[in-house]
Structure 1
Amino acid sequence: MRRSLSLQARVAIASALSATIVIGAIAVAFAVFLRVNGSQQLDRTLDSVILATPLDMPANTIPTVPSLATAPADPFPPVETSTATRVASVAGEAVRARDVRIIGTPGALVSVAVPENPLIDAIRRQQVWVAAAAVAAIAAAAGLGWLFAGRAVRPLQRLAAGMHTVGDTPGTHRPNARGAREAEDLSDAMGQMLDRIAASQKRTEDALGSARDFAAVSAHELRTPLTSMRTDLEVLSTMRLSRPEREEILRDLLATQRQVETTLTDLERLAAGELSDPADHEQVDLAELVDRCVQESARTHPGLDIAVSAPEGLVVRGIPTGLRLVLDNAVINAVRHGRAGRVLVTVATDPRDGSVTIAVDDDGTGIPESERVSVFERFVRGTGSGAAGSGLGLAVVAQQAGLHGGSATLTDSPLGGIRLTLRLPQPAAVRVG
């Protein structure tokens, strides 16, 4: 691939072109000035010669003036005025001439001329000197442009040389290009880019580490129910069982299958949370989100008395699917493990800092105070959860609270059961409508 011109060469060329334009304009103006000034000097010489000539004598007695051009009789056509100057050629030589009336001889004129060749030769010599000086000035401008540009681009060259080794080994020193504002700006921009890349790599490494741990723990948790299912299937296929025994094994298989399905579903939700990004946050109408969850929970659990208390038009910034997961898991845990018959979802804002709290109260059996912190860990089941739980429901709640920069806690509920509180720091929470 053809390489482009360096910045140093471009600056040198630009300096030479700029000098050529400026010096050329000055040279043209100077040549015009020389021509006009020379013509004015010749006209003044003509005036001096005319004043020195005795034009009040008869025409045949006029003395010969050495500086006047000699010519045949009547070499110039007569003019009506004695002050007009014209350019003509006498014996092949260019002259500036003027016709002057002779005093005492009506209608008689004498032509006074001054040669122009000396002036033209002098102008040409000066133009040659000006051209030589212009060429020297253009060359000097190009050389100085090359020299100064070399000093100016040196920080960029150091930055480019240093960037070749960045990333080869951990902790590589970043190049510090100082000496030119543009180089410093570029160095700072590249440093910020490298910081973003490093942060992205760290997030990727953390995600991979979490994925490895997640896969190991998931395999461990799924191994027990799958082993139980395999044992039941082997018993069904190899032993002669009575009808009640077969039905009991089938019930155990179905229960274990539901447990595996629930665990896989919760694992999927946790994985989705691990892969979430700050770009997933958007403006969410919290009252509308809570109302949809309550309506769907009422259909899913027909015997559940569920209500909501939330201000209208409360908009927060968050992940809609994540906030919905928190609400769904809170209601499911209250019904499935707490055997609650009544649930109340309350949304409120703190006027001091604008934070938002979502509280889910139930009248169920509750959770012992000693377990209210540990149940937020993965695959940890509370005392009253039973074997059907995956141990991931509250882990999903804790994960979503962390993704939103908030916290999740369990406390006693005024309804007699447990209260799950999700606190979201939302300084930008606004009311609409």
Structure 2
Amino acid sequence: MKRRRRSLSLRARVALVSALAAAIVIAAIGFAFAVFLRVNGSEQLDRTLDSVSLSMATDPAASADNTVAPVLPEDLSPQVVQPTAIAADPVRATTIGGTAVRAKDVPINGAIGQVVAVSVPEDPMSRAIREQQWQVAGVALAAIAVAAGLGWLLAGRAVRPLQRLAAATHTVGDELPAALPDIRGAREAEELSDALSRMLDRISKARSRTQEALGAARDFAAVSAHELRTPLTAMRTDLEVLTTLPLTEEQRTEILREVLATQRQIEATLTDLERLAVGELSDATDHEDLDLAELADRCVQELARRLPDVQIELNSPPTVSVRGIPSGLRLVLENAVTNSVRHGRAERIRITLVHSDSQGAVVAVDDDGIGIPQHERAPLFERFVRGSSADPEGSGLGLALIAQQAALHGGRAELSDSPLGGTRLLIYLAARPA
């Protein structure tokens, strides 16, 4: 695997940007200062020439014999040359004896058309300008270095919270920390710390849910395998008897009847196991706003067609608005009626819906069956637990499915005595399930 080249650190980037910004600003200022020095030096030479010219113009004797020149600072003494004709350009740059000078023609008093060329050497001024430019360049380099250093120091303070945060996240392994260190400093670092804390909290909750789901799945698989092993063993025994022993037609018919009953039991168990698994995988996104009265009415009509010998009634307000899983609530009603008929041997079932905006809804299923002893009621909501009067072909999961759906809807389920003489099943549904 190709190793990725490491990028520059934020601290180094800030230092480089600071140095670059300082270099740009100082370069602009230095260029302007160099131009100013050059222009100012040229103006100084022109003023020197003007002062020398004025002095010679007011001293006729000096102009006449060309031997007197004003005393000026060292290296700036004007050079007076012999009279010459008037030049086209009174101030000009020229060379005298290999020395660059700035010259100006001064008219001679009393000599029409004659001038004296007065010159000032440019070399001393140029040297002074170059020296000042080098000084400015040195100061500029020092300022750039100082800017880079300050950027490095200030960036170091700014990124220190990020470094602490990175060191804390490097230690995150299989065991998530309870909390990251309290990061204070730059606002961005604080926001990043808060975001990472929330992310770790979500990961921790998701891991807990996953571990709980895996534990439940292992227990579920173990119990399911145990419950399925018994009917499968019975089916295998019956099939071995059919294939190995000589049987009468009556015996063969009886064994085949037992095999079919066992097959139906296994099929019912697998169907209920699938429903339980679907319930375990449901979450808040599966809930939706629905009318429980309308759903119960449709369910009662279908059950009445499937169970023509059973009288099924529905007492409900016109509308019962709840938030829930439609398929789950339908499963609750179907299992409640099926259990009353199959295990309670009921002939009359009444479903009552009670609605409260603040407390949710209550579903009561009453029957006139044989009832359930009080000491058996609570355990029946466990998986694969059957009552003493349960039909042998049942899966033992009917009431477990109802309890699961009640919990998914933020409520609970319980059994009690029915005014019809049998058993009452109460399912409480929360107004807004979590």
Please state which band the TM-score falls in when normalised by the shorter chain: 0.7 to 0.9
SS in 1 for 2:267: helix
Counterpart of 2:386, as a letter, is R
- For 2:35 and 2:411, the matched residues in 1 are separated by 82
Unaligned runs of 5+ in 1: 80-85
Matched, 1:314 2:321: yes
Cα deviation per residue 1:155-189 (whole Å; 9 max; x = unaligned)?
44444444444325x57686636453444444443
Counterpart of 2:9, as a letter, is S
Shift of 1:381: 2.2
- For 1:327 and 1:62, the matched residues in 2 are separated by 135
- For 1:160 and 1:27, the matched residues in 2 are separated by 42
Matched, 1:390 2:395: yes
Shift of 1:132: 1.5
Residue in structure 1 matched with residue 73 of structure 2 by the alignment: none
- For 2:431 and 2:352, the matched residues in 1 are separated by 17
Residue in structure 2 matched with residue 26 of structure 1 by the alignment: 29
SS in 1 for 2:427: strand
Distance 1:346 1:70, change over 3 A: farther
Counterpart of 2:255, as a letter, is I
Counterpart of 2:8, as a letter, is L
Q: TM-score, normalised by structure 2?
A: 0.79
**The 10-residue stretch of structure 1 (330-339 or 174-183) with the greater mean CA deviation from structure 2:** 174-183
Residue in structure 2 matched with residue 364 of structure 1 by the alignment: 368
Counterpart of 2:290, as a letter, is D
Question: Any residues of structure 2 matched to 1:14-413 within 5 Å, and which?
Answer: 14-45=17-48, 48-49=51-52, 52-54=55-57, 61=64, 65-66=69-70, 67-70=77-80, 73-74=84-85, 76-77=87-88, 88-91=93-96, 115-167=121-173, 170=175, 176=181, 178=183, 180-181=185-186, 182-278=188-284, 280-287=285-292, 289-304=295-310, 305-307=312-314, 309=316, 311-312=318-319, 314=321, 316=323, 318-351=324-357, 353=358, 355-365=359-369, 366-413=371-418
Unaligned runs of 5+ in 2: 71-76
Contact in 1 for aligned 2:410/2:432 (Cα 8 Å): no
Contact in 2 for aligned 1:225/1:260 (Cα 8 Å): yes
- For 1:33 and 1:15, the matched residues in 2 are separated by 27
Distance 1:38 1:220, change over 3 A: same
Shift of 1:270: 1.5
**The 10-residue stretch of structure 1 (16-25 or 140-149) with the greater mean CA deviation from structure 2:** 140-149
Shift of 1:291: 4.8
Distance 1:31 1:198, change over 3 A: same
The number of aligned residues is 418
Contact in 1 for aligned 2:93/2:103 (Cα 8 Å): yes
**The 10-residue stretch of structure 1 (99-108 or 219-228) with the greater mean CA deviation from structure 2:** 99-108
Shift of 1:387: 1.6
Identity, % of aligned positions: 58
Contact in 2 for aligned 1:330/1:360 (Cα 8 Å): no
- For 1:416 and 1:377, the matched residues in 2 are separated by 24
- For 1:111 and 1:418, the matched residues in 2 are separated by 134
**The 10-residue stretch of structure 1 (324-333 or 306-315) with the greater mean CA deviation from structure 2:** 306-315
- For 2:338 and 2:22, the matched residues in 1 are separated by 82
Cα deviation per residue 1:235-286 (whole Å; 9 max; x = unaligned)?
33344444333333332222222111111111122122223344x4342424
Q: TM-score, normalised by structure 1?
A: 0.79
Distance 1:61 1:87, change over 3 A: closer
Matched, 1:5 2:8: yes
SS in 1 for 2:365: strand
